[in-house]
Amino acid sequence: MTTRIDRRFETVQAEGRPAFVTYIMGGDPDYETSLRIMKALPGAGSDVIELGMPFSDPMADGPTIQAAGLRALKAGQTLRKTLEMVRAFREEDNETPIVMMGYYNPIYVYGVERFLDDAVNAGIDGLIVVDLPPEMDAELCLPAIQHGINFIRLATPTTDDRRLPAVLKNTSGFVYYVSMNGITGTAIADTSAVNEAVARIKGHTDLPVCVGFGVKTPEQARAIGASADGVVVGTAIVAAIANAAGDPVEAATALVRELADATRNARLAQAAL
């Protein structure tokens, strides 16, 4: 089964460029504003949207995304409302891939089968659940695949060649390479080391490899996009929303446009060197 994610990566690869993947926290700073931001992202240059599921104990998230999750929860965001956001988005956009990202606990409480049924009906294309290792694929990964939802796995600098096959076994859509060990939003690792890691992963899979956790500037986006199949930006966008002096939608889309342009031109910049 071909998903929106598969089609989008086929398109950007045919265009000879990396994809630009954006992350926002569902319901931050409130439902309506978050939905407005989400609807504006494709027009600003986002190829794939990662939508965070707010959770009270986000162990892999840095302070910026933790704060966004707490704002969303305080404003009344729930997993059901996050699914409603996707459904509302799909009323106007049936092409942009949407990946829900977060932790297993809210899904477990919601009920796995109920969640997957509702996710399909809402228009979800993929899942990134950071606290479910391959040894727990029966919990959510395999049922998600049976529902036609891509299950996207994280690889890290410590994922060596012995571990990588297990990580890749049931992964689909794309592989998310975490550019450093630690929490989101910290400084990105040396780009040459990231490029080497991407090449190593691509030696084990035909899936696109996207790089995130720390990409904040156009320069970083260009450097990563020269070798990766996609560049993921989250913390910088979430910070722009939180720190907006005016309309958070304008603050987010202005940054996304700048980073999207840098990502799209990454291969051209590399060729000119």
Catalytic residues: 50, 61
- Closest C-alpha among 18, 82, 69, 88 to residue 241: 69
8 Å CB contact between 248 and 39:
no
Strand partners, 117: none
For the chain, report the end-to-end CA distance as a whole number of angstroms: 39
Structure tokens at 223: 């450097």
Structure tokens at 174: 């794309």
8 Å CB contact between 236 and 216:
yes
Q: How many CA atoms lie within 13 A of 125 on its CB side?
A: 22
Residue 101 belongs to what H/E stretch?
Answer: strand 98-102
Distance CA(232)–CA(213), nearest Å, equals 7
Distance CA(235)–CA(68), nearest Å, equals 10
